[in-house]
Amino acid sequence: MAERLVTLETDGAIGIITLRRPEKFNALDIPMLRALETSLDEAEMADGVRVVLLRGEGKGFCAGGDVEAWAQMSAADFQVQWVRYGHRVFDRLARLRQPTIAVLSGHALGGGLELAAACDFRVAETQVKLGFPETAIGVVPGWSGTQRAVRRFGAQTVRRMALGGEVLVAADALALGVVDRVVETGKAFDEAKAWAEKIAERGPLATEAAKLMIAVAEGEESAAATEALASGFIALTGDLKAGVGAFKAKQKPAFSRA
């Protein structure tokens, strides 16, 4: 069996998703996106996993979309198979129930920065560069670089990268709020893991609920988050138990406010 392009490992309460295409600096193509989606589904369902780290194998975090993978696509296939599917996978990451930390031990450019932006936090090493270079080759950011990135980093910062072609070094990215912490080369994973362990000590249900509420305020979630929060509340009351018990017994439920 071929080695998976994206893997999920667990270390106590920490899930570690690793992009494994180092020869291409973890550039994303359709098989990579599918593998990432599978790993995200596995992380969502993993018992006891309270925080998820996302990292890249080798020298790069993620070089973005693999140009060779989409350059020969028809306009229709580019829109549906590439842009829309990529959005679906990135949205899956952004809406993961657990807090997420992008471990930037290598550059995050184009789709790589969009991937990092879909995480809740970003830890970068000092040598890392970040930017949206797409317009230099006649395309535009297609995986939420002009949407989620604007909400999270601010429109002017995204303008500097997407329109002006500015590539940020880690220190400048920290000052602009594009990354949350900057550490020495080789230290990003350890820093992110230590941070994740502290997050994992907090109340898991409260942390998940807080993430959902922040997502609603940010415009990342709305209807699904409202229903998830309401359903979770109801599940903790006696209504669900009384209703299901009565359904199984083919009786009328006796609800109470207790």
Q: What is the pLDDT of residues 86-125, one digit of tens each?
A: 889 999 999 999 999 999 999 999 999 999 999 999 999 9
The predicted-structure confidence for 234-254, as pLDDT tens digits, reads as follows 777 777 777 677 778 888 888
Q: Does any domain span residue 83?
A: yes
- How many Cα atoms are found within 13 Å in the side-chain-facing hemisphere of 176? 23
In-domain check, residue 1? no
Question: Which carries the bigger pLDDT value, residue 130 or residue 236?
Answer: 130
Buried b / exposed e over 189-206, threshold 16 CB at 10 Å, is bebbbebbeebbeeebee
Residue 38 belongs to a domain with what CATH number?
Answer: 3.90.226.10
* 38 shares its domain with 134: yes
Judge if 120 and 11 occupy the same domain. Answer: yes
Q: Are residues 184 and 219 in the same domain?
A: no
Q: How confident is the model at residue 257 (pLDDT cuts 50, 70, 90)?
A: low
Other Cβ atoms within 10 Å of 51 Cβ, number: 27
Same domain, 77 and 151: yes
Q: Are residues 112 and 229 in the same domain?
A: no
> Is there a domain that residue 255 lies in?
no
Contact, 165 vs 136, CB < 8 A? yes
pLDDT at residue number 1: 36
Task: State the pLDDT at residue 234.
Answer: 73
Same domain, 53 and 91: yes
List the catalytic residues: 114, 134
Number of folded domains that form the chain:
2
User: Mean pLDDT of all residues in the chain?
Assistant: 90
Q: What is the mean pLDDT of residues 34-38?
A: 95
- Does residue 15 register a pLDDT over 50? yes
Give domain status of residue 254, yes or no.
no
Shared domain for 236 and 168, answered yes or no, is: no
Domain that residue 226 falls in: 204-249
Q: Do 63 and 182 have their domain in common?
A: yes
Strand 121-125 and strand 181-183: pairing? parallel
pLDDT at residue number 258? 56
Let me know if residue 231 belongs to a domain: yes
Q: Does 134 reside within a domain?
A: yes
Segment 206-221, tens digit of pLDDT: 999 999 999 989 888 7
Q: Are residues 155 and 91 in the same domain?
A: yes
Buried b (16+ CB within 10 A) or exposed e, 155-168: eebbebbbeeeebb
* In-domain check, residue 234: yes
192 and 210 housed in the same domain? no
Residue 102 and residue 212 share a domain? no
Q: Map residue 19 onto helix, strand or coil.
A: strand
Q: Say yes or no: 173 and 235 in one domain.
A: no
Say yes or no to pLDDT of 233 above 90.
no
Q: Is 89 a member of any domain?
A: yes
